[in-house]
């Protein structure tokens, strides 16, 4: 355990350096896949990759400015899968009450300012697809979920859009636009969505028919480092592989770096593409448990760790290191849980959420917290391996 702190610093630094974005199928994400494979081989594991189709996104430039005032709108962000645009003019306001009647509102050739904080991700994706079908040029969403003030880079995202431009503004940006709604604004984006492939990277040791899966996702929300969500989890998977190298009792064990967890499709509801692609290939196998590592590396001063266990009745009698809660069902655990497999995830419940924003950087990682969480994961994992 003494090498954990230094190893985590090395892993996260390596996987958060050199690129401006690490979203699915981007050059930054591919570099992370290569790092994961190289490190797993260094730790003595065989490695394979399982490929599947996704939408990629080539981002080059974003600006949202108030032309009348001659200044950039604060806390604005381009949205995942947005297309290019260079628009200058007044924004057309859409309130929450107007969304229900959107089919009867003329949106062709307009850029909208959408004021809504009540729609879920799938509903937002549906809305932007409908707007594109009706010839809307673009939409700027008022986005309030982050405590940092910054807009999420994937507040509204759909891999199915092809022409429409999408942006968002955080609370301060939304208030600014509202106060100056009669001003002329310019929205300029250079970005292109395209069809491509990505893969899950799997380090493994072959054993009997029983399989234990350790997993975290190596893609991040676009235009962020994603150090917490989920480079930290990918690093934990690597270190669990190192710590458990000689602890197996004959089972097949796989350490998976999933891609496309931040990706969104409407079905299944969460849209974690990588873990769903994994289950399409491996459902029906004797998977004892999926142990998920995602976003559990922040200071205990502003977060509380919860141990979430799904299908607990299917696991052996375990001496849990902390109180257990029902399954989380908001990450790569979903695909496994929905197929009836037990899941384990130590989740950080944060009072200051930074996920999917530029604030999710290596500077926010509490490496001591990572080490302590790893000890709990190790305790649980060795019991599952030995008792199954």
Using CA atoms, how far apart are residues 43 and 251, in angstroms rounded to an integer?
18
pTM of the full structure: 0.95
Q: Can you point out the beta strands (E) in the chain?
A: 46-66, 71-72, 76-78, 85-89, 92-95, 111-115, 138-142, 165-169, 185-205, 210-217, 252-258, 286-292, 303-310, 324-326, 343-350
Structure tokens given for 191: 């970005």
- Of 116, 84, 95, nearest in space to 187 by CA: 84
Q: How far is CA 205 from CA 190, 208, 277, 358, in A?
A: 44, 10, 21, 37
User: In the predicted model, is pLDDT for residue 320 greater than 90?
Assistant: yes
- Residue length, the chain? 388
- Of 145, 125, 157, nearest in space to 359 by CA: 145
Structure tokens given for 46: 């065989």
Cβ proximity of 386 and 249 under 8 Å: yes
For every residue of 152-211, which 3-state class applies, written as one string? Answer: CCCCCCCCCCCCCEEEEECHHHHHHHHHCCCCCEEEEEEEEEEEEEEEEEEEEECCCCEE
Using CA atoms, how far apart are residues 111 and 37, in angstroms rounded to an integer?
44
- Give bridge partners of residue 71 from the DSSP assignment: 66
The string of pLDDT tens digits covering residues 219-265 is: 999 999 999 999 999 999 999 999 999 887 899 999 999 999 998 77
Q: What is the mean pLDDT of residues 207-215?
A: 97
Q: Which helix (H) or strand (E) holds 13?
A: helix 4-15
- Of 352, 324, 362, nearest in space to 145 by CA: 352
Provide the pLDDT confidence category of residue 146 given band limits of 50, 70 and 90: low
Q: What is the mean pLDDT of residues 110-130?
A: 91
The string of pLDDT tens digits covering residues 354-372 is: 889 898 999 989 999 999 9
User: In the predicted model, is pLDDT for residue 277 greater than 60?
Assistant: yes
Using CA atoms, how far apart are residues 247 and 250, in angstroms rounded to an integer?
9
Query: What SS3 state is found at 68?
Result: coil
Query: What SS3 state is found at 363?
Result: helix
Q: Which range is least confidently modeled, 14-23, 72-81, 137-146, 337-346?
A: 137-146
Using CA atoms, how far apart are residues 219 and 194, in angstroms rounded to an integer?
17
Provide the pLDDT confidence category of residue 167 given band limits of 50, 70 and 90: very high
Cβ proximity of 142 and 114 under 8 Å: yes
State CA 39 to chain mean position distance: 22
Q: What is the mean pLDDT of residues 203-212?
A: 96
């Amino acid at each position: 355990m003494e090498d954990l702190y230094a190893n985590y610093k090395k892993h996260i630094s390596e996987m958060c350096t050199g690129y401006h974005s690490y979203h699915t199928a981007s050059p930054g994400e591919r570099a992370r896949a290569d790092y994961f494979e190289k490190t797993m081989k260094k730790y003595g594991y065989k490695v394979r990759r399982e490929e599947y189709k996704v939408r990629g996104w080539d981002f080059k430039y974003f600006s949202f400015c108030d032309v009348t005032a001659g200044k950039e709108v604060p806390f604005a962000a381009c949205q995942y899968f947005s297309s290019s645009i260079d628009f200058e003019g007044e924004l057309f306001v859409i309130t929450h009450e107007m969304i229900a009647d959107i089919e009867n509102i003329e949106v062709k050739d307009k850029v909208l300012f959408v004021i809504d904080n009540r729609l879920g991700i799938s509903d937002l994706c549906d809305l932007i697809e409908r707007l594109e079908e009706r010839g809307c040029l673009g939409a700027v969403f008022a986005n309030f979920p982050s405590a940092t003030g910054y807009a999420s880079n994937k507040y509204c995202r759909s891999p199915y859009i092809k022409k429409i431009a999408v942006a968002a503004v955080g609370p301060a940006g939304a208030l600014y636009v509202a106060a100056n709604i009669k001003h002329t604004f310019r929205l300029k984006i250079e970005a292109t969505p395209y069809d491509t492939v990505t893969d899950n990277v799997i380090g493994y040791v072959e054993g009997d028919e029983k399989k234990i899966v350790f997993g975290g996702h190596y893609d991040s929300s676009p235009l962020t480092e994603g150090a917490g969500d989920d480079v930290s989890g990918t690093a934990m998977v690597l270190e669990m592989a190192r710590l458990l190298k000689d602890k197996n009792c004959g089972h097949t064990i796989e350490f998976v770096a999933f891609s496309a967890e931040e990706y969104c499709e409407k079905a299944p509801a969460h849209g974690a593409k990588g873990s769903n692609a994994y289950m399409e290939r491996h459902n029906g196998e004797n998977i004892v448990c999926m142990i998920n590592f995602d976003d559990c590396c922040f200071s205990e001063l502003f977060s509380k760790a919860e141990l979430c266990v799904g299908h607990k009745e299917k696991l052996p009698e375990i001496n849990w290191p902390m109180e257990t809660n029902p399954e989380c069902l908001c990450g790569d655990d979903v695909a496994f849980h929905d197929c009836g497999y037990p899941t384990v995830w130590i989740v950080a419940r944060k009072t200051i959420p930074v996920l999917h924003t530029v604030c999710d950087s290596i500077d926010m990682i509490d490496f001591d917290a990572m080490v302590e969480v790893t000890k709990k994961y190790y305790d649980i994992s060795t019991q599952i391996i030995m008792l199954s």
